Structure 1
Amino acid sequence: MSLMHRVGWRRGLVVLAVTVLLTVVVIQLLSGEPEITLVIGEPYETMRQRSTASIDPAIPGHSWFNTPKSDARLRFADPQFGFVTPLARFFTVGFGRDQRIDGVRMSPQIEPLLLDDTLKVVLDLQEQWRKAGWIPIRVNDFPSFADTPQWRAQLRDVNKGGKTYWHAGDQYQVMLVVNRFKDYKHPTEERYLIKLSLATPWTNP
């Protein structure tokens, strides 16, 4: 092979590598962050086909759960009661023996958060639910979260934390819980863990 041919061959490889890299970047930019998109009660496989995050198939004849293979946000796709969470690292999608989705348990964060960031997440979720027609329930015992001195003091108390329940008509229920969390990566900071559970109603209003 002549010197000119070798130079042209190498140049072609470089151009191909750059083209592939740019294609991957464009695909990532267009696809956005990975999402699990679902509705409670729908076939599990429908969720898998619709979602941009990868998740294993259901196990026929078993009641169990799977987790996405990467950090992912939840997009609850009900046309009336839909909402979207931040990216989550802990995220399970449950299914019944009929291979239909029966619940979600997740922590809508990728690490324990500072209190200001924690309140930002939970207040945004509550605002999405209000706008979509969700109703807080059992408010005498479990009032909705708010950014007030009283709520901040309660959340800082490791023995208290906070919990709230919401109903979407008689179709869905969500439970949102916040607690102090000892984060060994940030031992001198107050960090918090958010837990969200979503299913058909399991408590009375």
Structure 2
Amino acid sequence: MTETRSNKWQWWVAGLILGFAAVWGVYVKARPADEVVLTIGEPYTQIRQQSRSTLPVLTRDNRINLYVRRPAVLRFSDPQYGFVTPAAKLLSLYADESGKVVAITISPQVDTLKLDEAMPVLIDLQNQFRRGGWQPFRVNGNPPIEDNRDTRVHIRDCAAPTSYWQASNKYQISLNIRCFRSDDRPNDERYLITLDLGTPVFGELPNE
């Protein structure tokens, strides 16, 4: 009798756990993605209020690395030069001493990607820049990244191609893709995209 009751109890607990896992899975899929909404120069406290994210409270010690603890989409909300990224596990903001955000670093992915997965992300971001009026610059040595055979060979050689974009005299972006190979899986090709956004730091004019 005792053994029968024990088995029933174990099955009840197992069913409860499975039921909770199923409900949690539905919730995770239905929950809107986290989102960080900002433009350069906005107060960090305002960005936290208008975003749905895990950005931390600003302190004197963390203002140069204000990062999300759960993946979030970046919505750059400038009315002319705005764009949207895929969800990012690495999204970090940098605030000046007055608490205004002056730079962003983001890898718009939740994991390292195969090249066939990474290239559409790169191309879509550059197309959004073009539609928003961003202009490529430093193109003689660093033209916009294209999805063709030569570029893929270049990327697989771990050359880390980079494109540069400027929005009038307001913002500049550097966008690159580089190899990411772990010691335990040296033959597993994976790639990491990095986008750095801030006020102009290069003196070149667009198309130089």
TM-score, with normalisation over the residues of structure 2?
0.81
Other structure's SS at 2:112 match: coil
Contact 2:88 2:107 in 1 (8 A): yes
Kindly provide the CA deviation profile for residues 11-46 of structure 1, in whole angstroms up to 9, marking residues without a partner as x: xxxxxxx9xx79x94x973x6210111110011111
- 1:65: how far off? 2.5
Kindly provide the CA deviation profile for residues 152-203 of structure 1, in whole angstroms up to 9, marking residues without a partner as x: 1100102x12001000111011100111110457543311111110000111
- 1:63: how far off? 4.8
Distance of aligned partners of 1:62 and 1:189 in 2 relative to their CA distance in 1, 3 Å threshold: closer
Q: Which residue of 2 aligns with 1:190?
A: 189
**Bigger mean CA deviation after superposition, 121-130 or 49-58:** 49-58
Q: Which residue of 2 aligns with 1:162?
A: 161
- 1:122: how far off? 0.4
Q: Which residue of 2 aligns with 1:11?
A: none
Distance 1:28 1:177 in 2: 30
Distance 2:184 2:37 in 1: 31
The question of 1:38 aligning with 2:47 is answered no
- 1:64: how far off? 2.1
Unaligned stretches of 5+ in structure 2?
1-19
Q: Which residue of 2 aligns with 1:58?
A: 58
Aligned residue pair count? 184
Q: Which residue of 1 aligns with 2:97?
A: 97
Q: Which residue of 2 aligns with 1:202?
A: 201
TM-score, with normalisation over the residues of structure 1?
0.82
Q: Which residue of 1 aligns with 2:4?
A: none
Name segments (4+ residues, structure 1) moved above 4 Å.
60-63, 184-187
Other structure's SS at 1:98 match: coil
Unaligned stretches of 5+ in structure 1?
1-17
Q: Percent identity?
A: 35
Distance 2:32 2:134 in 1: 27
- 1:69: how far off? 2.2
